Structure 1
Amino acid sequence: MSRAEVLEPGGGGGDPADGRRGAGAGAGAGAGTRPVSPLWTFGLFRSELTTTFRRWRTLALLGVLAAVPVLIGIAIKIETSDGGSVGGGGPEGGGGPAFLTQITNNGLFLVFAALAATLPVFLPMAVGVIAGDAVAGEANGGTLRYLLVAPAGRTRLLLAKYAATLVFCLAATLAVAVSALIVGALLFPLGDVTTISGTTISFGDGLVRAVLIALVVAASLIGLAALGLFVSTLTNSGIAAMATTVGLVITVQILDTIPQLHGIHPYLFPHYWLSFADLLREPFYWDDVLRNLGLQGVYAAVFGSAAWARFTAKDISA
Structure 2
Amino acid sequence: MSRADVIGGVSGSPRTVAPQEEKSRLRTSGLLRSELLTTFRRWRTVTLLGVLAVIPVLVGIAVKIETGDGGSGGGGDGGGPAFISQITNNGLFLVFTSLAATLPFFLPMTVGVVAGDSVAGEANAGTLRYLLVAPAGRTRLLLVKFAGTMVFCFAATLVVAVFALATGAVLFPLGEVTLLSGTTVPLSEGLLRALAIAVAVAVSLAGLAALGLFISTLTNSGIAAMAATVGLLLMVQIVDTIPQLHAVQPYLFPHYWLSFADLLRDPVYWDELVKNFGLQALYTAVFGSAAWARFTVRDITA
TM-score, normalisation: structure 2: 0.94
2:130 is aligned to 146
| Counterpart Cα distance in 1 of 2:301 and 2:113 | 25
Cα contact 1:4–1:11 (8 A) shared by 2: no
Give the percent of matched residue pairs that are identical in Structure 1 and Structure 2. 72
| Aligned match of 2:287 | 303
**1:9 CA displacement:** 5.3
Asked if 1:262 is matched to 2:246, the reply is yes
Q: Aligned to 2:35, which of 48, 66, 80?
A: 48
Contact 1:2 1:47 in 2 (8 A): no
Q: How many Å apart are 1:11 and its aligned residue?
A: 4.1
Q: Hey, which bits of structure 1, 4+ residues long, moved more than 3 A? A: 6-12
Cα 1:7–1:217, aligned 2, differ >3 Å: closer, same or farther?
closer
Q: Is the CA contact (8 Å cut-off) linking 2:117 and 2:226 kept in structure 1?
A: yes
Q: 1:216 touches 1:276 (CA, 8 Å); kept in 2? A: yes
Map of 1:86 onto structure 2: 73
Contact kept in structure 1, 2:7 and 2:34, CA below 8 Å = no
Alignment TM-score, normalising by the size of structure 1: 0.90
Whether 1:193 and 2:180 are equivalent positions in the alignment is: no
| 1:263-278 alignment, distance < 5 Å | 263-278=247-262
Residue 58 of structure 2, aligned match among 41, 64, 71: 71
> How many Å separate the matches in 1 of 2:74 and 2:10?
60
Structure 1's unaligned 5+ residue stretches are 13-33
Does 2:44 correspond to 1:57? yes
Shift of 1:10: 6.2
SS of the equivalent of 1:148 reads helix
Looking at structure 2, the residues matched to 210 and 186 of structure 1 have their Cα atoms a distance apart, in angstroms, of 17
Question: Deviations 1:118-161 (Å, cap 9, x if unpaired)?
Answer: 01110000000000000000000101111111232111011111
* C-alpha displacement of 1:195: 0.7
Q: What is the aligned partner in structure 2 of residue 2 from structure 1?
A: 2
- Counterpart in the other structure of 1:114: 98
Verify the 8 A CA contact 1:6 1:150 in the aligned structure 2. no
Larger relative contact order (C-alpha < 8 A, sep ≥ 6)?
Answer: 1
Q: Which amino acid aligns with 1:115?
A: L
Provide Cα deviations, 1:66-104, integer angstroms capped at 9, x if missing partner: 11100000000001113432123123xx2112x000000
Is 1:37–2:24 an aligned residue pair? yes
Secondary structure at 1:269's aligned position in 2?
A: coil
More moved, 3-12 vs 192-201: 3-12
Please give the root-mean-square deviation of Cα atoms over the aligned residues, in Å. Answer: 1.4
Provide structure 2 residue ranges, at least 5 long, that are not aligned to the other structure: 13-19
